[in-house]
Chains A and B, each alone.
Chain A
Amino acid sequence: MPSLNTIAFYLHRITGVILAIYLCMHLGFLTTVKTGEYSSLIKVTLSRQFLPFDLMLFLIGIYHGVNGIRLIIHEFGFLYRHRKILLYLTFIITAVLWVVVAWEVVM
């Protein structure tokens, strides 16, 4: 069983890759504005069935963002002694933010 440090590291990478792929898709999506298929595509992504994907995307984005801030703090040489707390906080803040955002979206 890898430790939380390692899990955080791999999650950061995986979420990063997913976000990069998402970004490419997103850009591709936007180019359809010109070709005119945009309005039909936007209907699909705005549908209720698509919501779980959006929620996943939020989770991934939030985690990557929060963990990124944690890493930046450490990389400036700060709060090393509190690294464990910061690590736990990362997961807690991610969860809380996600729940709040998801609540807003779903309701």
Chain B
Amino acid sequence: MAKTIKKINEKIKRGKAVVVTAEEIIDLVKKRGMKRCAREVDVVTTATFGPMCSSGVFINFGHTKPKIKVGGGKVYLNDVPAYGGLAAVDLYLGASALPDDDPRNRVYPGEFRYGGGHVIEELVAGKDIRLKASGYGTDCYPKKELETKINIRDLDKAILYNPRNVYQNYNVAVNLSDRVIYTYMGVLQPRLGNANYCSAGQLSPLFNDPYYETIGIGTRIFLGGGIGYVAFSGTQHNPRVKRTSKGIPRSPAGTLALIGNLKKMSPKWLRGTSFTGYGATLTVGIGIPIPILNERILRFTAVEDSQIYAPVIDYSKAYPLGKETIIKEVSYAQLRSGSIRIRGKEVPTSSLSSYAKAREIANILKDWIRRKKFLLTEPVAPLP
């Protein structure tokens, strides 16, 4: 009897669903075999926790007396500029925004200790945020200046909306030049001093559903500690890349746009992040369930780090010039071993996303499903 999402949800409601993480499924398949696991396992949970710059929040801070129209004016949260070109009291704060007086890279390398991502972390943590806005004044919105404090408790709406998250695969960054470079892939020491990567590998959502057969528009997910949804394919979503024989992309490929109610999220899973010499961003915790509808889907979730490859790219020249020649392909198993061999040199590796936290999220989502707090959804439409 073919499994359906509806049937899996009925099992979840009865507290009978078998749920394992994308890490646990690997050994389970080895022990019990594909066929049996495809029959017995209902849901595999995947997760990731890494810096994702294309993230931000929509806030409606409510009408003041007298009223102000921020659209066409300016608005700041804790001195970090937000986008106010939306009606009267809606705004969007991006994770990478910086205070106007931040020295940026004028004192090189800049520290970027406080930006949009940090404001979001503090907002979610329930701290008061200073809001400063100016408008030009109209007959119906006469107020021109506003300085007040906002708190997430009192906000009518606060929505996390991230245009591009959950990158399916990513580059491994190295530095072939003779000087230290500061990138969004971290500090890279000269002459192949280190190699940085950023993916949860075998736990990462889109490695476990490489052709987006279960994850689609409308899929309900764990987002920042609360509930979110896949809103659309993300910006730069590019499924047409080279893949391994098992269908795994060999370079950055699919992405997701995500949305969710910020008021229900937690600062533990939305962390303001600073990259020396590069900028501020937000680290986002995401968990996505995969319904095991058939053996083909199960086979994909059993993927392991040794079968997933990432391209090693030079960030001193090739990347900034847009001529990304691949120095080498390495597997996530090699990356996690602590060092990789490049051009005859043993290069120590570091991750920017946290595997330990990704594992924690996959387990939380597993727990939610087991405790009937989270039901699966049918995608409304597939991703391209």
Q: Do A and B come from one complex?
A: no
Interface residues of A (CB under 8 A from B): none
